[in-house]
Structure formats: C-alpha cells, structure tokens
C-alpha cells in the first residue's frame, strides 16, 4: 500500500472521543465516504489487491462492510454475500453469537451463500476486538468456505482483534492502524 493512501486515510478518518461511551476513541470512517477522491483510492486499492488474490466471494459485514465490499465486488465481477444482524435475512440461515467491543450480538448468513471450497475475503470497516470477523469466519467455514483474508480500513491492534484473527488462521489486512484505545 502506498504511503500516500495511508496519509490520506489518516487525514480523513475522524476520531470522536468518548463515543459511544466514556474512554472510547471512536474511529469514524464516514468522512472517507464523503471524500470521493479518498473513497476511490480505497476502492481502487482493494480492487488491485483482490484482482491478484482472486477470491471466489467477497463477504461483507453488516453494515459498514457493505460500503466497501460492494464496489469492489462490482468492479471485479465477484459474488457479494452479506452477513447480517439477526432477523435481517429472509431465507434459511446459519447463525452464531459473538462478543464485540461494546456488547454481544448474533449474526446470520444465508445457508446457500457459500459453496464448499470457495475462497472468501471478509470485508468490514475496522478490526477492533475481532468478535464480528471471527464469528463471520466461523459461519463461512460452517458452510465449507475458506477464509483467506479479513480486510478492513482500520486496525486497532491494542484491542486484540488482529491477533485473535491470526490465532484463528485468518490473515488480517488493514489500510491503516491506530495504536491505543
């Protein structure tokens, strides 16, 4: 990744102190979406990376993962599979509970979304505790898929998610990193 893209991201991502609770430094990626040049640079970077890695499927995590995976899937002609919060998918699903930075939740995936042996890249906005991405990897594997990478805009390594992904044999990939909580 170019230093220029990392600089653009670090100049664009907004830090919101004490949100959603006191002591949290929230990394807000929405300014990326409001800046067409930076958004295009992010999508172009992911397109280049995944045209080389050649996954069979992009799996996007509810909801900010949708924003980054959708244009990449479109550009590369890849299937796009959403993982949603419980009760948001209309067909038969597999589900799992997980822990996240601010509580717990349940995510679901359509039971016919991944074929046996398909290579999958998970896409979300950030890697924090790793709970959502680990749960997503579990669902993909339950359906017979192979997770080759978990992609995000931001990694917060001090929250331990990247290491948990590595420990679960999922390669984390982020465009920028913020130390501290």
Please list the alpha-helical segments (H only) found in the chain. 3-12, 30-34, 36-53, 64-76, 131-142, 161-167
Written as six digits, the tokens of 18 are 């004490």
The pLDDT value recorded for residue 120 is 99
For residue 110, what pLDDT band results from cuts at 50, 70 and 90?
A: very high
What confidence tier does 116 reach under pLDDT thresholds 50, 70, 90? Answer: very high
Q: Report which DSSP code applies to 157.
A: G
For residues 2 and 123, the model is more confident at 123
pLDDT of residue 99: 79
Cβ atoms 128, 159 nearer than 8 A: yes
In this prediction, residue 144 has a pLDDT band, given cuts at 50, 70 and 90, of very high
Q: What is the pLDDT of residue 27?
A: 96
Token pair for 35 = 């800046």
Higher local confidence (pLDDT), 101 or 26: 26
3-state secondary structure of 78: coil
Q: Which of 27, 64, 84, 149 is catalytic?
A: 64
C-alpha angle 79-166-9 in degrees, rounded to nearest 5? 65
pLDDT tens column, 12-51? 999 999 998 898 899 999 999 999 999 999 999 999 999 9
pLDDT at 180: 76
Phi-psi region of 152 (alpha: psi -120 to 50; beta: other; left: phi over 0): beta
Q: How confident is the model at residue 100 (pLDDT cuts 50, 70, 90)?
A: low
Is residue 101 annotated as a catalytic residue, yes or no? yes
Whether 49 is catalytic is no
**Which residue in 27, 84, 101, 149 is the catalytic one?**
101
Give the integer Cα–Cα distance in Å for 151 and 124: 6
Q: Which residues contact 7 (CB under 8 A, 6 or more apart)?
A: none
Chain center to CA of 31: 17
Calculate what percentage of the chain has a pLDDT beyond 70. Answer: 97
């Amino acid at each position: 990744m170019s230093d220029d893209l990392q600089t653009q991201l670090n100049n664009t991502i907004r830090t919101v102190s004490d949100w959603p609770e006191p002591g949290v430094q929230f990394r807000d990626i929405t300014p990326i979406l409001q800046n067409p040049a930076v958004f295009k640079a992010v999508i172009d970077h992911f397109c280049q990376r995944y045209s080389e890695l050649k996954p069979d499927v992009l799996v996007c995590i509810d909801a900010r993962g949708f924003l980054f995976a959708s244009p990449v899937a479109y550009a590369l002609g890849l299937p796009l599979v959403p993982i949603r919060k419980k009760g948001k998918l209309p067909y038969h699903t597999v589900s799992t509970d997980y822990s996240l930075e601010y509580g717990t939740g349940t995510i679901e995936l359509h039971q016919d979304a991944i074929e046996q042996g398909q290579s999958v890249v998970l896409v979300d906005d950030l890697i924090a505790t790793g709970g959502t991405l680990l749960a997503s990897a579990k669902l993909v594997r339950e359906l017979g898929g192979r997770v080759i990478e978990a992609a995000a805009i931001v990694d917060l390594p001090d929250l331990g998610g990247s290491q948990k992904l590595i420990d679960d044999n999922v390669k984390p990939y982020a465009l920028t990193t913020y130390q501290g909580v």
